[in-house]
Structure 1
Amino acid sequence: MLVAFSVTPIGAGEEVGELVAEAVRVVRESGLPNHTDAMFTTVEGDTWDQVLAVVRDAVAAVEARSPRVSLVLKADARPGEGRMEAKVASVERHLAGGA
């Protein structure tokens, strides 16, 4: 199960990096495999409940300091581990001309 999500504080001003960092901290402390880039944080887990609990807690961390929070979420509900790396590796193989 992969879930990519973005938490955006609304009404907290233009500089929201500190608040977004609170959400990322929750994800990293979860112990689940994760990756953060400029737009999303991706979390990998075994079940919906496991992954969505992390998303819920990340949103709650931002809600504690912002009057409103926007959440964008995309999920890939397919079993297996190491899929974050495997999906990227597949694309890189194709870019390199491999099968």
Structure 2
Amino acid sequence: MIAAFSVTPLGIGEDVGEAVAAAVKVVRASGLPNRTDAMFTSVEGEWDEVMAVIKQAVEAVKPFANRVSTVIKIDDRVGVTDGLHTKLASLERHLAPEQHVTVD
């Protein structure tokens, strides 16, 4: 499964970078395949291990704020591995300009 999630400390102002970095460090240390962008961190693995990592990421943010907001989107598809890469590869393949062969 792939889970895309964001963990946001509430009530500490606009600069949440340090708190979010604490959550991302947990994900990266987990050893699970992951990717972080400007809005979400995606992590891939079995249900229990992914949910455990998300819980640990939330716990890593709690020292920064009394209130933490967590958003999670899950793609749980049987038989799929390396979905972080294969889903993007498929998208890029569809975005690539068509290769036209010209015959002189």
TM over 0.5: same fold? yes
* Distance in structure 1 (CA, Å) of the matches to 2:36 and 2:53: 14
The equivalent of 2:93 in structure 1 is 93
* Distance in structure 2 (CA, Å) of the matches to 1:8 and 1:52: 17
Which residues of 2 match residues 51-70 of structure 1 at below 5 A?
51-70=50-69
- Three-state SS of the structure 2 residue aligned to 1:64 is helix
The equivalent of 1:16 in structure 2 is 16
1:12 and 1:67 in contact (8 A); partners too? no
* Distance in structure 2 (CA, Å) of the matches to 1:68 and 1:57: 15
What's the TM-score once normalised by structure 2's chain length?
A: 0.89
1:8 and 1:69 in contact (8 A); partners too? yes
Give CA deviations for 1:15-51 in whole Å, capped at 9, x if unaligned: 1000000000000000000000000000000x21110
* Distance in structure 2 (CA, Å) of the matches to 1:67 and 1:12: 9
The equivalent of 1:31 in structure 2 is 31
Q: Give identity over the alignment, percent.
A: 60
Segments ≥4 residues shifted beyond 2 Å: none
Give CA deviations for 1:33-71 in whole Å, capped at 9, x if unaligned: 0000000000000x2111000000000000122110000
Partner AA of 1:5 in structure 2: F
Larger Cα Rg: Structure 1 or Structure 2?
Answer: 2
* Distance in structure 1 (CA, Å) of the matches to 2:26 and 2:96: 36
What's the TM-score once normalised by structure 1's chain length?
A: 0.93
* Distance in structure 2 (CA, Å) of the matches to 1:97 and 1:5: 31
